[in-house]
Every structure is written in structure tokens, then in C-alpha cells.
Chain A
Amino acid sequence: MYAVEFKDVSRVYVNGEHEQRALDHVNLQLEQGKFIVILGPSGAGKSTMLNLIGGLDSPTEGTILIGGQDISKLTNNELADYRADTVGFVFQSYNLIPTLTVIENVALVKEIAHDPLSSHDMLKAVGLLDHKHAFPSELSGGEQQRVSIARALAKNPKILLCDEPTGALDSETGVMVLKLLLSMAREMGKTIIVVTHNQNIAKMGDVVVRVKNGKVVYCEEQQNPLSVEEVDW
């Protein structure tokens, strides 16, 4: 059973008379517990892919199986439950709730997840326990992204979805965040899917998927992925 399986998936956006085919009959199988990097230029369809896996969007055609479960026909509420239990998100722009403190942002998932982890432990793991009562606006970008990672993992999801997680950070902070993300996810045995246009991140992936014009043009398992330290940033 694959962690993620796309069967002839298309996603078409209609804007007036104009039709944009973001994904065009994509077939893809991704194994569990791997670090998968989806690469591609802007508008290639990589974020659409991530959104479909995350249940933020539904395909126009085809079937998406996550851990064997077809999520393409789920209702709104079922999708919400799916997001609550199965996937964790890390965005480029962090998307923390500004009116909740750091610990509250992480503890938020307790309201919905069935098997949440301790928010205290999560914050300790990302090294922000000292800042637990601060508001997001009182933290640096790197710190905010670490909170975002803690929140995503606190749900104890099967898959961690990251959309340009280092895109808004300087390279030094980006490396640090990436290292943390990978070490934590691997330790916890999660499948990690990272969407990026950064070729360096691709060097670290167990699997690299290249997307162009809405199609998967390449999907290969790397024999010797590099560690964060080995990559020349």
C-alpha cells in the first residue's frame, strides 16, 4: 500500500471562458516513510499536487488514494477530519494564528486531532519552550516556522506536507529549519513531501518528482541522498 497514489488525476481551473489545466492525467505512487521532493518551475502544478494530497482541493478527474483511502470523493466534513488526522502542513508563510501564543498555536490541534502529541514536547523538540508564551509576531521568521513544524507534527499525522518551507527564510535559517524538519519527521517515521523549486533540497530527497506543465516528467528514487550538512548551500 502506497502512502500516496494518484490514478489519472487532473485538476482543471475554469475562470470565465478560460480553462487552466493545472494537473493533466497524473499517475503517481509514493511510498510510506520516504522524504519526497516535488520539484518544478512556477505554475508547473506542484502546489496543486500538494493541495490535492492535503485535502485542500479536490481533483476534477481521477482518484487519489492516501494510505489506501480514496479522498477524491470525500465531503467537506470528511475532508476536514482527514486533514485533522492524516496530514500536517508547513507553509512558506507559517500561517500561525496571531492571537494565540506559541504554545496555544501548537495545542490548538488537540481540539481536533484524535491522537495528538504533547505540545510541550513538540515545542521542546523545536527548541522554543522558552518562548511558549510569546505571540507569533514576537518571533523571528525561523522561529515562527519552527512553531509551524511543531504544530504540524503535534497532530501526529501520517504525512507531513511542506510548501516551500524555507522560501521566506535566509539560507542559514532555512538550513537549520530543514534539518530540524527532517530529523524530527524521520525520527517519528513520517512520510514527508516537500514542494520546492530549490534544486539543493532535491539532493536530499529519497524520491524526486519533477513536474512540468501539469504532468509528472520524472519520478525516481535517489540511491544516495545527501544529508543537510553535505549539501552545498
Chain B
Amino acid sequence: MMLKKLLRTLLRYKAQFISMAIMTALGIGVFLGFSMEWRTLEVNTQKIYDQTGFADFRIYDTENGFSAEDAARIAALNGVQDVTRFASVNMSAQNTSDVVALTVSENMAVSGILLMEGEKYDPESEDGMWLSDSYAKENGIKLGDTLTLTYKEFTVTGTVKGLIKSSEYLICLIDDTQLMPDYSSCGYVYVSGAMLERLVDEESQKLLDANPLYRLAGQSRIEAEKTKYLNRLFMQINVKSTLTKAELIEKADAALGRTCLVVSKEETVSYAEVQGEIEEGKTMVSILPVLFLAIGVLTMVTTMHRITANEKTQIGTLKALGFRDKRILIHYSCFALVIGLLGTLLGAGIGYLIAWYIMRPDGAMGTYIDMPYWTLTAPWYTWLVIALIDLMLVFIGFMSVKKMLRGTAADALRPYTPNRVKHLALEETKAFKRLSFGTKWNLRDCFRHKSRSFMTLFGVLGCVILIVGGLGMKDTMDVFVNKFYDEAINYSVRVNLNAESAVSEDDPDGARESYNQKALALAQKLKADWSSQFSAQIGDQGYLIEIYDVTQDKVRFLDDDLEIMTLGDEGVYICSRIARDLDIGKGSEISFSPYGSDKNYTVKVAGITRELSKSVVMTRAYAEKAGINYTINALYTDETDVAGDAIIQNTQTKQAIMDSFDTFMELMNTMVALLVLAAIVLGIVVLYNLGVMSYVERYREMATLKVVGFRDKKIGRLLITQNLWLSLIGIILGIPAGALVLDYLIKALAGEYEMKLAISPFTYIFSVALTLGVSLIVGLMVARKNKRIDMVAALKTEE
């Protein structure tokens, strides 16, 4: 019998019931969805890190590379578990502009591969290629196909024997200017050490055939040169170790007898970006679901109070009939339980849908991270939190009924009386006295039903925060892309130079000078600006040092306000992330030591810039003044026909960089659309629920107005006006709150891009219009109910 009553009560309050279930479902759904997003990423990337032996450290020597003995020395260090000599050379594929990294890991237990399809990796194979399955898929390459890669005169041809994934290339980017991987033009291929040796043999043979005089040096000298050449290709030793970075640097330097660049996994794109995504997921979980759940729980408090107040005489009747308080409490708490359970069920569906939408090979994350596994996983505590949320909802229901059950059965039988109206302080003002009766009525009603008014305000606030946050994120991104890529990149082609000939053991300065002359001549021919880039240690961190010579206005720099600035010759300019990391600013001094060099330079900071990579930039004039040696390694030009010069390594067009944004911008647009949709749903659900509540609470007053002679339209206008007032206050508070949340999100989620908060006037106008629109539509929906007010019945009811 009581179950029937429960079902009928649910039916009676269906608007409140449905809206509460939706609110709960949204909160739980967003919480579960984003929790699953980061946890799925964490679990599945960890799986591939483990399976492919993702290295903890990478030791670099880009000039001489590493010998097998070097690797053995590192392997022998205390605290080092395993090592591999690792080679990765960017090559052009099939005579296209595609960049494919030819990769060799001598010990596949470290920085190895995960076979997705085809033959197992064979370390003795001299023609086998194990190609990135994503690159193969995008380019229609199948098992058994022949693949030819070229790097200058160096040509590698092999047969695709396996399609693979590798944790080393989990996020496959050409360089810092690329935001998103593009597997149609960028990939990687693993070959065996044996194949690399064969290639070096063939190259040596070609050299010897072309220059027979080299043979006079003797076979042992020829073998030594071949080994040296091979070693130079192994620019990395990848290490599995439990040592700290500082410990490994100290031990490795001592073991190798020279200073090498050591990069920890936390500094690699494939690890740092994934961890960044996980952290971003956690940040999202701490903001969006909290917003939804807070609104949901607070609305639940207001709604349950109203429902139990409406049911007070029934509660009293049950009590008078002899039902124990406990039974009545359980009965009405079940109402909250049903809302909680239905919300959880719907929320779990929404959560899985969000997680599935983001975490699948064709989803948002799939376009960024090349993972083999996409098993959706939720953190263990998610279900506990959801159970606690349900418990809290039941507790809210329980407390609401308990309040109505207070006192004797006779007390419970008396209808609920709302708070007494109190005089407001502002009523003494002249302005208040001049207000229309409707304004006074609404104003006092807002204060009389504070929790309802507060909830309406809170709901609108949440709605505005979501809209401003969503659209503002797009504005910020647009400004970022526009500033960095449209304004700062003023060239059509970036020409990367091969600076190998700048290195000489016998005459380092002479070789560099002679190479720089060639590069300058080429720059002049191409009407290009140029730069020299190298890594250096500042404190215990590695940063990029960039020296620019800008005479053609092909490269521009942005100041801290994202405005174009000119570099001066009186110091270096650090990017805002370095300024933050090292807690330094204009006027400070920094010292850096280029990797592979024993020189240390101390320079003055002349300003702060915003850069894509964490870098220190300076002009050629200042570099020369400070005595910094440099090797030109990139030219920036508008000339598109740049091939033919021996020192050119490869080229990269601005268009290719811009194209990689398309996917990124699509993702951004989808996310913005979802946020705006969530805002609309939130706005409608909260405002409708509270609007209906306001209508029920003022039913008798409206019936009185109707009897006195007020038209439905006029009464409706009173209701809508209150909604609009609260919406306006919500908007006024919501816009700065939205900007603050967005600023926090940008710093937390996109700190690596040096974005700056930008909200366009359109976003403000749209947020205001949409929120007011939602408020007006919901107000009209509620106001339409006026027509159904039964004046006779309403006025007979005892208050």
C-alpha cells in the first residue's frame, strides 16, 4: 500500500522528481565521465609503458653519439636496471614530405615496441621494418609493402613486417611548433641494429668506391671510421633506473668521462603530455562535477523541503493513524532514494558516454595519444563517492521529513506555514516606497524564500560560468592561434639545416665559421631570417636557447600581453614559464651552460616573452656581445622552392603546421558545444524546478490576485520578472566568476602553451542573451500554468 502511495507521490511531483533526477544524473555523469577519462588514460598508458619498457632517462650526445662500451658503462652503474643504445633519425618517406623517424633500439626490453599485427620483431633481420600502425593506416601501407626512406643521399629500403605502437612515440610530434600529431604525414619505423649496420656498411662501401684512395688508410682505420659513424647515429642511451636525475647525471658523467644531456621521462613529450592530460582530467573532476553536484544537492534540499511541506498534512495523517515516525521517515526518504538511484543509473550512462566519447581510438584522446588499449576504467573511489552522494540525498530527504514530523500528531496535522514576512531594512528608504506593488511583492518574496532565491541565483551562476568558460576557452584559443601562428610566424617555410659539417675535432671554430658562412649565404639567397637553437642547462633544468637574426620580418616575438615586440640587443628574453619556474624577471641575471660544452655564460634578462617552447631568446648582436658561440640551424623564408642545397636537412611549411590545428580546433568546438549544451540543460532544469516551486508556493497569492481582477498575463509577468531579476544578478556575478574559473582552467589545463585569457564581446553578449533567453523561456513555461489556477479551490484551502 505504502509503495503505491510512494509511486503516486512521485507521479504527483513529477516535474521536481524528473528535474532532480536529471541534476543528479548530470553531476554524477560528469564526475564519472571525467574520472574515467584520466583513470583510463593512466591505466592504459601505464600498460604500454610497461610492455614496451618506456625508459626512465635518456642520455644524449648529439655530436659523437654513444659506443657499445658507453652503453655497457651506463648499464654497470649501481641503480641502473637496463639500458639500450637508441637511434632516431627523421627521414623522408617515399619521396614525400612525410617525416618518418627511423628508430633502432639495440635492447628491445628498453624503449621497445608493441606488435599490433604481423611478424614478431627480429633483431637479426636486415630488411624488416616495423612501422607505426597509425601511420600505415593513414597512408594505406600494408604488411609486406616495401617502404623507402631517404635522408640526404642515405636511402633505406625495407619490407613492412609488422605494425606496431611504441611508448616512445605515444604522442608523435615533429617539433614544438606542432600541437597535434598528424599520422598522415608523420610516423616512425623500427628497424634492427643489424639492418643499421648493413646500411652503414653499404654507405661506407659507396664512399670507398667513390674515393678508392681512402682504402690506403688501412682496413682497421676503415672499420674504426665505420664504427664511429654508426656510434654517431646512436645519439641516445635510454635507461631504466631508480636513480634520481641528479644521481644519474653525476654517475653517467663520471662513467662516460664527459658531460651529456640527461632528460628524465617527466621531460619527454610522450610522458609529460600524458601526465598533463591526467592532471587536467583530475582538475576537470574538481571543477565541473563539483559545480553540478553542488547545484544538485542544494536544489535537492530546497525541493525536498517543499515536497515534504506540501505533504505535511498527509505526514500528520499517517502519524495520527498510528504509523511510527520511523516508518514515515523511511517512506519519504525513499523518495530521495529513488531520485538518487535513478540519477545514478542515468549518470552512469552519461559518464560512460562522456568517457567513451573522449577515450577511444577515433575520439578526442585518440587523435592525440596513440594508445593500443582503450579499456574504460574508473578510479576505485568513484563508486564510493557516488554511493555517498546517494546517501547524502537520502539524508536530505530524511531531514526534511523529520522536520515535518516534529511535535505531536496534532502538530504534524497542521498545514505547513512558511516563514513570516519580515520588514526589510531598505523598506525605510524613499526609493522603496516608490516601487510598484509587483516589485515589492517580488522583492519580499525573494527574501521570504531565501533558499529558493539563492538556488535560482546559484543555478544561473553555474549556467553563466559554463557558457563564459566554454566560449571564453574558444576565444582564448583563437587569440593564441592568431597571435602565435598568424602574427608571430610570418614565414611560409622553415628550412632546417644540417649542421653536421659545423663540427670538427681538429678545428671547431673554423668548421663552425665556415658552416655559418654557407648558411648565411643561403639565408641571403632565400631572403630569410635565421636562428640558432641549442639546449642548455639553467639550474638543474634543460631549456632551449635561441639566437635570432631578424632582418626580413619573418619571425616575430610576443610580449607578455601577446603584443608584437622587437628584441633589443641589451639582454636575453625569457618566456613567462621560465620566469615562473625560476622566479625571475626583467633585470635578473641567469647563467647557462650549453650541453656538450664546458663554457658557462651569464646574461641579463631584458624582458619576458610568450613562446611555444620553454626558451630563452636573444638577438645575434647580443649573443656576439656576450661571446656565445652559435651554429645557424634554421632559416625562415617565403621562398617555397628551397631544395638543392647540401646543408638543407628538411623543410616545414606554415600550412602544414596550421593544418595540424584543424583536428585540435574541431575538438575545441565540440567541447565548447558540450559545455554550452550542459549550461542550457542546467539552466532549464534548475530554473524550471525552482520556478514550479515558486509557483506552488505562491499559488494562493496568485489565486487571490486573479480573484481581485488581475489578468493571467499580468500575474505571469510578475513571476517572470522575479526570474529575470535573479537571472540578471546571476549573470552579473557569473561573468567575473566564469572569467576566474576560465583563468584557473587555462593555467591548470594549458600552462604549457602560455595562453592568455581572452574573452570576446560576443561571448559576453551571447552569455547574457542565452541565460536571459533560458530564464525567459522557463519563466513563460511556468507562467503558462497561471491559466490553470483554480481560484475557488485555492482560496478555500487553509493557509
Contact = CB atoms under 8 A, between A and B. Distances in A.
Contact of A155 (B709, B713, B714, B796): B709
A98 B701 contact: yes
A224 interface: no
Contacts of B444: 99-100
Interface stretch (A23-31, A87-95, A202-210): A87-95
Interface in B674-718: 700-701, 703-714
Q: Which of B700, B701, B708 has the most CB of A within 10 A?
A: B708
B687 to A, nearest CB: 21
B798 A80 contact: no
Interface string A66-106: 00000000001100111111000101010111111000100
Given A56-B791, A104-B437, A113 B709 contact: yes
B704 A80 contact: no
Contacts of A80: 706, 709-712
A112 B705 CA distance: 10
Contacts of A99: 421, 440-441, 444-445, 448, 701
Interface in B44-86: none
A133 B422 CA distance: 11
Nearest to A138: B420
A82 B712 CA distance: 14
Contacts of B436: 111
A158 interface: no
The B interface, classified by DSSP as helix, strand, loop or mixed, is helix
B787 interface: yes
A77 B710 CA distance: 9
A151 B437 CA distance: 14
A165 to B, nearest CB: 13
A95 B704 contact: yes
B421 A91 contact: no
Interface size class of B (residues with CB under 8 A): 20 to 34
A99 B791 CA distance: 19
A100 B441 contact: yes
Contact of B420 (A51, A82, A95, A135): A135
A149 to B, nearest CB: 13
A136 B437 CA distance: 15
The size class of the interface chain A forms with chain B is 20 to 34
Given A100-B437, A104-B440, A108-B437, A81 B709 contact: yes
Contacts of A200: none
A155 B445 CA distance: 25
B265 to A, nearest CB: 65
A203 B798 CA distance: 29
A111 B437 CA distance: 8
A82 to B, nearest CB: 8
Interface string B762-792: 0000000000000000000000000100011
Interface string B408-451: 00000000001011010000000000001110110011001000
Contacts of A93: 795-796, 798-799
Contacts of A108: 437, 705, 708
Nearest to B436: A111
B709 to A, nearest CB: 3
A130 B440 CA distance: 21
A137 interface: yes
Contact of B795 (A82, A91, A111): A91
B249 to A, nearest CB: 74
Given A56-B791, A93-B798, A99-B441, A135 B707 contact: no
Given A111-B714, A135-B423, 5 more contacts: A54-B707, A77-B713, A95-B707, A99-B440, A109-B708
Q: Which 8 pairs, one residue from A and one from B, show the smallest C-beta to C-beta distance?
A: A84-B709, A99-B444, A83-B709, A80-B711, A95-B704, A135-B421, A112-B709, A56-B791
Interface of A: 47, 51, 54, 56-57, 76-77, 80-85, 89, 91, 93, 95-100, 104, 107-109, 111-113, 133, 135, 137, 151, 155
13 contacts: A56-B791, A56-B792, A76-B787, A77-B713, A80-B711, A81-B709, A93-B796, A99-B440, A109-B708, A109-B709, A112-B709, A135-B420, A151-B708
